[in-house]
Amino acid sequence: MLDTLWAQIQLITVPEWIGIVSGIVGVYLGIKEKLASWPLFILCYGSYVYLSYLYQLKAFMLMNAVFVVLSFYGWFKWSRPQQVAEPEMAIRHISKPRLAICLGVLTASTLLLGTLLQHLGEAKVPFLDAFATSMGFIAQWMLSRKYIETWFCWIISDLIYIRLLGQEGSLTSVFLFSVFVFLALKGLHDWKQSIHSTKPAT
């Protein structure tokens, strides 16, 4: 297995390395609430848009293009001066009404994206793939709003991709998404501590 992993690592191209490194560093900086995480996300997803174009993976290219747009939105939200930013733009839980909307969007996106993937034939399990990707869309939006539930969404999405990529024998991708799961667990832990530390004393 280690020999296979090393062989696959040697086949990773420069654009793929850019996407991998910028993605890992971007998530880590996102945990730390650093603005620099967003341009790194854009670089990461932009790399995969380019790779998708090269490999003629239309659906995957579209998905990463959406992530680029969501990253620009997050960059805008996090970069607003404090005096004009929303007063609740601190780490917090999502409200029940917004969570209900997210569940509705997740359902609709899964059905639409799953149908597209099925039509294009770019996924062996189109609706599970679509669910994981749609969960990622919501997670990215939640991250832009600093909702702690973003990390639950990332964990679910990444675990599904570990299974799907593992079935394809892509050990490097399994390793990468395992790193993302670890970072999401760290993000959940750190943001929980941040919420507890900012609660008013009773």
pLDDT tens digits for range 57-70: 787 888 899 999 99
Higher pLDDT, 83 or 93: 93
Distances 11 to 8, 17, 112 between C-alpha atoms, Å: 5, 10, 33
pLDDT at 41: 97
Distances 138 to 109, 114, 122, 135 between C-alpha atoms, Å: 10, 16, 22, 5
pLDDT at 86: 56
Cβ-based neighbour number of residue 202 at 10 Å: 3
On the question of pLDDT at 30 being above 60, the answer is: yes
Joined tokens for residue 183: 């970072």
pLDDT at 25: 97
Joined tokens for residue 91: 């780490």
Higher pLDDT, 189 or 199: 189
pLDDT at 202: 42
On the question of pLDDT at 8 being above 70, the answer is: yes
Higher pLDDT, 170 or 42: 42
Give the global pTM. Answer: 0.90
118-169 residue pLDDT tens: 988 877 899 999 999 999 999 999 999 999 999 999 999 999 999 988 887 7
Distances 202 to 90, 91, 141, 194, 199 between C-alpha atoms, Å: 20, 20, 32, 17, 9
